[in-house]
Amino acid sequence: MEEKQVVKALGALAQPSRLQVFRSLVLAGQAGASPGLLSETLGHPNATLSFHLKELMGAGLITQERNGRHLIYRVAFEQMNGVLAYLTQNCCQGAQDCLESSALSFSC
């Protein structure tokens, strides 16, 4: 993963409402969540939520799928794992025991 992508992802998460949306989608797992459910759960107005979802999608952190008339949003776990890998690359100057204890990744 390139530095530019990591900066964009971290920038998208560096806003309280977007971080809440992202964490809610992590909790939803592969089932994902609709904007209506997210709005109800988080108490964000639809217009505001739409803006935050667009920002997270632009950073590659979430995906959108149309299911009939509904949109379903899911976390792009591979992208988030790429961000984590970039941040922990060369952890403890590459010491093997450090790398094993810091094996971070998202999955559902």
The domain that contains 25 carries what CATH number? Answer: 1.10.10.10
Tell me if 100 is assigned to some domain: no
- Give a yes or no: residue 91 inside a domain: no
Domain-located, residue 84: no
Whether residue 66 lies inside any domain: the answer is yes
6-11 average pLDDT score: 96
Condensed to tens digits (0 to 9), the pLDDT of residues 35-57 reads 999 999 999 999 999 999 999 99
Q: According to the model, what pLDDT value does residue 1 have? A: 87
pLDDT at position 75: 97
Q: Does 89 reside within a domain?
A: no
Cα–Cα distance for residue pair 61/54, rounded to 1 Å:
10
Are the C-beta atoms of residues 21 and 49 closer than 8 Å to each other? Answer: yes
User: In total, how many domains does the chain have?
Assistant: 1
Tokens for 84, please give them: 């984590």
Full domain range(s) for residue 19? 3-77
72 in any annotated domain? yes
